[in-house]
């Protein structure tokens, strides 16, 4: 499970990642959770940012990670394309 983005706030560390099985999916997406999240949220990155599954996140948390994904959509899509092309993914850290 390559981690592609860590988004660090004063309250929460959000982890954006791909599952290895995502390699076979054509539509770009990312899974998001925080520490101790059992079921991750899934967010479609194309054609627009939208929720696929909520996972264990609250509605407020989903809104926050959708906002983060929209703000960093270009980075996440570059990471997705690198992943799909079999390239090494380097995790990006963003502190807010």
User: Any idea where the domains of the chain sit in the sequence?
Assistant: 3-95
CA distances from 64 to 9, 35, 59, 70 (A): 11, 16, 9, 10
- Tens of pLDDT, residue by residue over 60-72, are 999 999 999 999 9
| pTM of the shown model | 0.93
- Tens of pLDDT, residue by residue over 9-27, are 989 999 999 998 887 888 9
């Amino acid at each position: 499970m390559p981690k592609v983005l860590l988004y660090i706030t004063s309250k929460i560390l959000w982890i954006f990642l791909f599952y290895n099985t995502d390699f076979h999916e054509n539509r770009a997406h990312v899974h998001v959770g925080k520490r101790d999240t059992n079921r991750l949220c899934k967010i479609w990155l194309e054609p627009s940012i939208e929720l696929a599954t909520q996972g264990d996140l609250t509605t407020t948390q989903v809104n926050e990670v959708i906002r983060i994904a929209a703000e960093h959509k270009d980075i996440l899509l570059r990471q997705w394309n690198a992943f799909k092309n079999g390239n090494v993914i380097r995790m990006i850290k963003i502190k807010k």
